[in-house]
Amino acid sequence: MPRQPIPIPHRVESLSVLDANGNLDRELEPEISEDDLRRLYKYLVSARMLDERCFKMQRQGRIGTYAPTRGQEAASLGIAYVLTPDDWMVPSFRESAAMLWRGWSMERMFLYWGGHELGTTPPEGVNDTPIAVPVASQCSYGPGIAWGLKLRRQGRICAAFVGDGGTSEGDFHEGMNFAGVYQLPYIQVVQNNHWAISLPRYKQTASPTIAQKAIAYGFDAIQVDGNDLLAVIVAMREAAEKARTGGGPTLIEAVTYRLGVHTTADDPKKYRDEKEVEEWLPRDPIPRFRKYLHTKGVLNDQQDQAILDEIKAELDAATKSYEEYKVDPLGFFHHMYSEMTPELIAQKAELEAYLSGHEPAQDKTERYSRVL
């Protein structure tokens, strides 16, 4: 028998609406109100200024280790813009623009990176999961949420984020397979920033794109310019409509670039040529979108400055509120069990006494035998 080509129904496309200089392909321009365009710009800049503030605060010892988002703001904001409040969003750890749009306050973001429990708690009424640092773990529970949404038949969808490094983890492939088999209302977003800490993208996979991996799991994919906010919105609108109407999942590969360090514990100069970074600087999503808005007559210099001033005031207020936040040192005793065990009751009493300056005088051997 002669060899026969296997028909594969699924497609992979590439999309860009704005070029690197902010020039528009009018045929692909999405319909977005002028008010929304200005709001989107504000959130792009808010995420950038929050990022800069967090970086400085980490260097000053005012928050813990921080993962910058500089250069990747459009890749998450475009996704969040299309989601409704009833939909679910599952972030990784570089989605601050999306989280701000979804209702997370700057103060809560500071609290997360400062190590406070409240920072991991989604705001009331926000259908998001907390930041996920364990790489690709969210690719397992994201499809789980989508499965629940499908069973409820309410037309709601779930979008989950992962980096290109996370696509080398088993969780990513298990989640993709599950989403494909059950045709879930799910969008898997890959922020391909070209670096998994110090490992370049070409050393992670031999496939020309990450998007094409969706074909193996039985659904469509699209590769977008992740630094082009309009392209991300167009791709997400198509994927969301398909998911809501029973068409199954989509993989969106947002091609972007990590302009800064992986985290503040990292030094990319040890493994990355700075010339590569310089080549990506002109593709920064904020100047491109700003030029588009100015050309369209939606934003002028005066409005731009007013937005910057407003964001700075919000940042200053959030920083002050974060640094005045009072932590209950006894709070963690209450969140392990519905009723505290005798050991925890004893330990709490001991800590209370210590904090009040009246530490019990028991022998240390007796004291610690209670928990052994």
Structure tokens at 150: 């499908």
pLDDT greater than 70 at residue 348: yes
User: Quick check: 219 pLDDT over 50?
Assistant: yes
285-343 pLDDT, tens digit per residue, is 999 999 999 999 999 999 999 999 999 999 999 999 999 998 888 888 887 888 999 99
pLDDT per position as a tens digit, 360-372: 545 444 443 444 3
Catalytic residue among 102, 156, 258, 288: 258
CATH number for region 12-323? 3.40.50.970
What value does the mean pLDDT take over residues 2-16?
89
Banded pLDDT at 21 (limits 50, 70, 90): confident
Helix (H, G, I), strand (E, B) or coil at 214: helix
- Name the E strands within 193-264: 195-196, 199-200, 220-225, 250-255
The sign one gets for the Cα dihedral 285, 56, 314, 189 is positive
From 223, 149, 133, 234, select the one nearest 183 (Cα to Cα): 149
Cα–Cα dist 71/49, whole Å: 12
CB atoms within 10 A of CB 350: 16
Beta bridge partners, 310, equal none
> Span 89-115, mean pLDDT?
96
**Strand (E) or helix (H) holding 90:** strand 88-90
What is the average pLDDT across 16-24?
89
Give the confidence band of 10 by pLDDT, cuts at 50, 70, 90: confident
- SS3 of 325, please? coil
Q: Which two tokens stand for residue 100?
A: 């701000």
Given the residues 262, 283, 288, 292, the one annotated as active site: 262
- Residue 372: what pLDDT? 38
What Cα–Cα distance (Å) separates residue 286 from each residue in 244, 292, 340? 30, 10, 50
Q: Is 41 a catalytic residue?
A: no
For the question of residue 271 being annotated catalytic, the response is yes
The ranges assigned to domains in the chain are 12-323, 331-369
**Dihedral of the alpha carbons of 56, 59, 62, 68, in degrees to the nearest 10:** 60
Q: Is the pLDDT of residue 117 over 70?
A: yes
Q: Is the pLDDT at 149 greater than 50, yes or no?
A: yes
* Higher pLDDT, residue 150 or 357: 150
Instruction: Judge residue 320's burial from the number of C-beta atoms within 10 Å of its C-beta, 0-12 exposed, 13-18 middle, 19 or more buried.
Output: exposed
Residue 148 belongs to what H/E stretch? Answer: helix 138-152
Task: Compute the distance between CA of residue 311 and CA of residue 314 in angstroms, rounded to an integer.
Answer: 5
Which stretches does DSSP call E strand in the chain? 12-15, 88-90, 158-163, 186-192, 195-196, 199-200, 220-225, 250-255
- Annotation marks residue 11 as catalytic: no
Distance CA 25, CA 13 (A): 16
Q: What is the pLDDT of residues 153-170, one digit of tens each?
A: 999 999 999 999 999 999
Pairing verdict, β 186-192 and 250-255 = parallel
pLDDT number for residue 343: 93
Phi, psi of 10 (to 5 degrees): -90, 155
Give the residues across from 329 on adjacent strands: none
Which phi and psi (to 5°) does residue 11 adopt? -125, 160
